[in-house]
Amino acid sequence: MQLPVQLRKRNPDTHKGDYGYVLVLGGSSGLTGAVCLCAQGCLRIGAGLVKVGVPESLHNIFEIKLTEPMSVALKEEPKGYLSLGAFSSIKKLLAKIDVIVLGPGAFTNVSTKKLILKIIKEIDKPMVVDADGINALVGNLEILKKHKSSQLVLTPHAGEFSRLIGLSPQKIKNKRKELVRKFALRYNLTLVFKGFHTLVSDGKSLFENKTGNPGMATAGMGDVLSGMIAGLMAQGIDSFSAAKTGVYLHGLAADLAAKDKTQNCLIASDVLDYLPKAIKGSLKRAPEHPST
């Protein structure tokens, strides 16, 4: 199967700033790994720079766990959870940021939820909203219409989408293509409905992915995917194309890993390790995207 979109070509005379700058906002006590997996997904797919914004009491953990990504300590409330008070600091970080990933491991205490909703409403950057970023939107979907960038991606699994639209997973399963397309159209965004044959829609078109396997039903897979999508967007690929390509390569890397490690032993970091092989194999069948 050919890549859903061509990848960005790297010119000889180039530097890291040419491939985009991603800011990942999230993390909380007990959930630091989500941010780390997301940040690595951004870099592994080709983003030039990644910074993580995390609760200040956990900052030293990220300084140890992450090598290539940069990190910044943000205000927290209570200890170990991002606070609404971090908003002003986040705004100061945005001058060079191309894409934001919002929600990995963030948890949804009251102050964090208010921060997430304020970021979606008031910051006009392309954005990928995942995990607890999605959970914060339950009962607050009209906030999505106030996001000022046309490049907005939501990545719910069945349980998260069920909470968003108030239908049981079984009812969603029976008409998932229709519901995914309608949601994307109504809120003017790209929706990635994760699961067996993940669906991606911008409201006008719908892509059904055929890569991936049951071994991916394990913690952290979605964090890697949200990072990959954001990393592609940072390189100038539109949100719908980035989501399609990210989903396809994410599943393909997992398929390649499962051949060597079995589905039973597959973990999220395996996708990061096998992504180069997935991309290399795909590029043999599809030319690279010209630089912009």
196-231 tens-digit pLDDT:
999 999 999 999 999 999 999 999 999 999 999 999
pLDDT at 291: 42
Dist CA 123 CA 252 (whole Å): 33
Averaged pLDDT, 33-42: 98
**H or E, element range at 259:** helix 239-261
pLDDT at 292: 35
| CATH 3.40.1190.20 given to domain 19-280 | yes
Averaged pLDDT, 176-185: 98
C-alpha distances (whole Å) from 131 to each of 52, 108, 253, 279 are: 16, 10, 21, 26
pLDDT at 284: 65
CA dihedral 163→159→193→100, nearest 10 degrees, is 70
pLDDT in tens, 124-144: 999 999 999 999 999 999 999
Domain-wise residue ranges, the chain: 19-280
Averaged pLDDT, 175-193: 98
- With pLDDT > 90 as the criterion, what percentage of the chain qualifies? 90
pLDDT in tens, 8-19: 888 899 999 999
**H or E, element range at 250:** helix 239-261
Dist CA 129 CA 108 (whole Å): 14
Q: What pTM was estimated for this model as a whole?
A: 0.96
pLDDT at 1: 59
pLDDT at 285: 54
Whole-number mean pLDDT of the chain?
Answer: 95
Q: Which residue has the higher pLDDT, 288 or 193?
A: 193
> Do 94 and 23 form a contact (C-beta atoms < 8 A)?
yes
